[in-house]
Amino acid sequence: MATAAETSRAVLPLSGGEPGATVALYPFLSAECQAPPAWFQRAEGRLAPLKALGIGVSRRDYQTIPIVCFLIVHPGAGPVLVDTGLHPSVAVDPRQNLGRLGAQLFGGIDMEPSQATPAQLRALGIEPDEVTTILMTHMHLDHASAISEFPAATFLLSLREWRAATGPRSALHGYVRGQFDHAFDYRTLDFDRGADSFASFGQSFDIFGDESVRVVSTPGHTDGHMSVIARLRAREVLLAGDAIYTLRTLRESHLPARCEDEHRFRRSLREIQMYAEQTPDALIVPGHDIDAWRALEPVYE
Ligand SMILES: [Zn+2]
């Protein structure tokens, strides 16, 4: 595609790593919206694809869905974001940033201006320009929406995800080009070259070289989806992103309506399930589970 945005290969580790470093994690709620449950938990039967889109589903049966991103504070590398949350304009007019279709998909968006990521950072005494690294689990419109607010950051994402987001017909796959078509510093991670295994995950990269923040390849939801594992003082946290929308998918292997690649989705899910079995004290955060979200603390150290 013709685009202002270009990438180069990420060179790891990024600077700032410190042996034995642990991080703090701040979950940011960007917005809540109302969506048909069958989008997140696949329905049975002939009408399932329609139900997933909310066709024939009463608004009363819609479910509250959180749209989220995360701040990780590393002692040497400083503030790091995982995804960007929704653009501040979405609080006023969702169509501008999400597009007509996106605004429809995320119906009834409930977002206060104070929930925009720059505002949440400032509330913690962090200027948005101090965020030098942003890890993108994937580039779907509810995760990449606020990229424009971070011109000073280096964005890390998988090479496969970049290709999917900038490829032909990407708009039909949940990407909004205008959100990321900026001459920003995008760096790609090629999980097929030089990745290490970590725990149950076949492909991972250690971002700062100190084992404090890792990304693991969890494709299937999108071609190049990745999840993030961070080391807190006493335990690990897995920010699963949309590799699992809900904890029900983790526990029951109940799939969502749509996967970019169902075979790879199942394989990633199995890796996450094995991680959960092998690391029972890890905090596992799914992408769009309102009950799991409401159970989170404001900060983890
Ligand atoms: Zn999402």
Query: DSSP assignment of 93-113, as one string?
Result: -HHHHHHHHHHHHSEEEE--G
Cβ–Cβ contacts within 10 Å for residue 248, how many? 16
Worst-scoring range by mean pLDDT, 47-61, 142-156, 216-230? 47-61
Contact, 133 vs 153, CB < 8 A?
Answer: yes
Distance CA 278, CA 10 (A): 30
- N- to C-terminal Cα distance for the chain? 42
Bridge-based pairing of strands 201-206 and 283-286 is unpaired
Sign of CA dihedral 63, 116, 68, 121: negative
Better pLDDT: 195 or 51: 195
Cα–Cα separations (whole angstroms), residue 259 to 75, 85, 256:
37, 21, 7
Angle ∠(117,68,205) on CA atoms, nearest 5? 95
Q: Is 71's pLDDT higher than 60?
A: yes
Measured distance CA(245)–CA(136) in Å, rounded: 16
Two structure tokens written together for 169: 């017909």
Q: How much distance in Å is there from the Cα of 73 to the middle of ligand 1? A: 23
Ligand 1 mean position, distance from CA 242 (Å): 6
The mean-pLDDT minimum among 85-94, 98-107, 124-133 falls in 98-107
Average pLDDT of the residues in 233-238: 97
Average of per-residue pLDDT across 6-13:
91
Cβ atoms of residues 189 and 158 within 8 Å: yes
Q: What is the pLDDT of residues 221-231, one digit of tens each?
A: 999 999 999 99
Beta bridge partners of 162: none
92 CA → ligand 1 middle, Å: 20
CA of 261 to the centre of ligand 1 (A): 16
What are the helix (H) ranges across 47-142? 48-52, 94-105, 117-123
Peptide bond just before 298 cis, omega within 30 deg: no
pLDDT at residue 1 tops 70: no
- Predicted confidence band of residue 77 (pLDDT cuts 50, 70, 90): very high
- Confidence bin at 3 (pLDDT 50/70/90): low
- Tell me the average pLDDT of the chain: 93
Q: How far, in Å, from the CA of 264 to the mean position of ligand 1? A: 17
Question: How close is the Cα of 25 to the center of ligand 1, in Å?
Answer: 19
For residue 142, the CA-to-ligand 1 centroid distance in Å is 5
Instruction: Examine the pLDDT at 12 and tell me if it is beyond 90.
Output: yes
pLDDT-based confidence at 204, cuts 50/70/90?
Answer: very high
In this structure, what token pair is assigned to residue 106?
Answer: 């995320």
Would you state the pLDDT for residue 43? Answer: 82
Average pLDDT over residues 168-193: 94
Mean pLDDT of 87-105: 87
- 229 or 57, higher pLDDT: 229
pLDDT beyond 80 at 242: yes
pLDDT of residue 60: 86
Helix, strand, coil fractions of the chain, as percent rounded to 5: 30, 25, 45
CA of 137 to the centre of ligand 1 (A): 9
Q: How far is the CA of 20 from the centre of ligand 1 (A)?
A: 32
Sorting pLDDT into bands at 50, 70 and 90, what band is 45? confident
pLDDT at 108: 82
- Report how far residue 243's alpha carbon sits from residue 72's, in angstroms, rounded to the nearest whole number: 20
Distance 145 CA to ligand 1 centre (A): 11
